[in-house]
Amino acid sequence: MATVFYFLPDPPPPLTEEEKAELAALKDRPIVFDEDCMPLSEECERKNDYIMRKYNTRRVTKELWLKEFPEDFQKYKAEAAG
């Protein structure tokens, strides 16, 4: 797999009026959770923070979670089986 590097101008260009208006409109919108993006419990947030710090990443994958907390998968597997 190839690595792609993106270089941004330094400093980045100022926001356009359209971009500023879009950001202002988004400030008043509530966060809407669904089955693809559910709110996390405090325990899950702590575990996410732990994984992100340990692996120096911003994206917690299923593989990293399984590596650090395999007991969680056993618990969810048992709940799904009924």
Biggest distance spanned by C-alpha atoms of the chain: 55
27 lies in some domain: no
Question: For residue 62, what pLDDT is reported?
Answer: 85
Calpha distance 35→39 (Å, rounded): 9
Domain count, the chain: 1
23, 15 contact by CB (below 8 A): yes
33 lies in some domain: no
**The model scores a pTM over 0.85:** no
Question: For residue 32, what pLDDT is reported?
Answer: 84
46, 52 contact by CB (below 8 A): no
62 lies in some domain: yes
Calpha distance 35→63 (Å, rounded): 20
47 lies in some domain: yes
3 state SS of 12: coil
Q: What is the average pLDDT across 50-70?
A: 90
What are the tens digits of pLDDT across the range 1-56? 788 887 776 787 899 999 999 999 988 888 888 877 778 889 989 999 999 999 99
Domain limits at 73?
A: 39-82
